[in-house]
């Protein structure tokens, strides 16, 4: 192989910076309307899976589920959706992911409002569905699985928790779903497993939103706005920091050549 060919191959497999290659090889922003629809549907399924499972664990009698079921519901849903919709919209399903990609020029700013609006709409529809499934008790006594800090957990600590866990999630998403050096087949499982771990870590403290849209849907439909700013600011800050770290530092590393 010639030196010129080697250089071409290495450029092709390097992390995509500033181009239109989105998550999971999607053509980011190519058709904003259709991609936004996929984001709305995907966020609906993700939020429905996790919050309906959480509602069942509290409202249904006898209680069929525990925290582990909720963790698995969120993680498995994201893994399935990444495999099913990743090539369509990039399967962001989270404003923190969308903003992080935009800040690092991996996603067009013009498409950000559409994506975020669709993600929020999907989450609201999911919460309405949970309300319809489990009735008024799920809304009045459980807030449709709205995320609020646990007793004794102040806003500052909740903010830190949400920022850190979202940092972890977005770092994994960007590393496995945008860098061509990462094995593509592993990406959906990796992001699903990471979300499951993040929810497991944070749920006893903050409810484990990891996603402003996931927090917004139940908050709007149930009217539970306690400390909502934490679930907006924390994930967005964590997501942007993770995207910048990978783009400016980790993504520039070259694997050892073995020579």
Q: Answer whether residue 145 is part of any domain.
A: yes
Give the percent of the chain with pLDDT over 90. 76
| Pair of tokens at residue 39 | 């984001």
Mean pLDDT of 223-238: 98
Q: Which residue is listed with tokens 């924390």?
A: 234
Predicted local confidence at residue 107, as pLDDT: 93
Q: Answer whether residue 12 is part of any domain.
A: no
Could you report the per-residue pLDDT of 26-68, keeping only the tens digit for each?
Answer: 876 678 889 999 999 999 999 999 999 999 988 887 878 899 9
Q: Answer whether residue 137 is part of any domain.
A: yes
- The closest of 176, 167, 37, 180 to 111, measured between CA atoms, is 37
Q: Answer whether residue 227 is part of any domain.
A: yes
Q: Answer whether residue 2 is part of any domain.
A: no
Could you report the per-residue pLDDT of 69-98, keeping only the tens digit for each?
Answer: 999 999 999 999 999 999 999 999 999 999
Helical axes 112-140 vs 212-222, angle rounded to 10°: 50
Give the residue with greater pLDDT, 201 vs 184.
201
Task: Check whether 187 has a pLDDT greater than 90.
Answer: yes
Q: Tell me the whole-structure pTM to 2 decimals.
A: 0.89
Predicted local confidence at residue 14, as pLDDT: 38
Domain range holding 151? 17-250
Q: Answer whether residue 6 is part of any domain.
A: no
Q: Answer whether residue 164 is part of any domain.
A: yes
Coil, helix or strand at residue 21: strand
Could you report the per-residue pLDDT of 135-169, keeping only the tens digit for each?
Answer: 999 999 899 999 999 999 999 999 999 999 999 99
DSSP string of 87-153, one letter each residue: HHH----SHHHHHHHHHTTSS-GGGHHHHHHHHHHHHHHHHHHHHHHHHHHHHHTTGGG---PPTT-
Number of domain units in the chain: 1
- The closest of 115, 118, 94, 117 to 195, measured between CA atoms, is 94
Q: Answer whether residue 256 is part of any domain.
A: no
Q: Does residue 32 contact residue 161 with C-beta atoms inside 8 Å?
A: no
Mean per-residue pLDDT of the chain:
89
Predicted local confidence at residue 12, as pLDDT: 35
CATH code (residue 107): 1.20.1080.10
Mean pLDDT of 2-24: 45
């Amino acid at each position: 192989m010639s030196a010129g060919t080697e250089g071409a191959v290495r450029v092709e497999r390097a992390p995509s910076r500033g181009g239109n290659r989105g998550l999971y090889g999607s053509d980011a922003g190519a058709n904003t309307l259709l991609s936004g629809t996929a984001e709305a549907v995907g966020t609906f399924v993700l939020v429905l899976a996790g919050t309906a499972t959480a509602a069942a664990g509290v409202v249904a009698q006898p209680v069929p589920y525990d925290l582990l079921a909720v963790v698995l519901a969120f993680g498995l849903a994201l893994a399935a959706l990444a495999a099913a919709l990743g090539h369509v919209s990039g399967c962001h399903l989270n404003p923190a992911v969308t903003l992080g990609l935009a800040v690092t020029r991996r996603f067009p700013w013009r498409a950000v409002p559409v994506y975020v609006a669709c993600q929020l709409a999907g989450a609201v529809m999911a919460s309405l569905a949970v309300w319809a499934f489990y009735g008024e008790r799920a809304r009045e006594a459980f807030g449709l699985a709205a995320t609020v800090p646990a007793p004794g957990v102040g806003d500052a600590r909740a903010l830190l928790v949400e920022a850190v866990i979202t940092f972890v999630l977005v770092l994994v998403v960007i590393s496995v779903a945008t860098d061509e050096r990462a094995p593509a087949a592993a990406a959906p499982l990796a992001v699903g497993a990471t979300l499951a771990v993040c929810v497991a870590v944070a749920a006893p403290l903050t409810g484990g939103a990891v996603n402003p849209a996931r927090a917004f849907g139940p908050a709007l439909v149930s009217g539970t706005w306690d400390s909502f700013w934490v679930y907006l600011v924390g994930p967005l800050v964590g997501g942007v920091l993770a995207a910048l770290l990978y783009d400016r530092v980790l993504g520039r590393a070259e694997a050892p050549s073995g020579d």
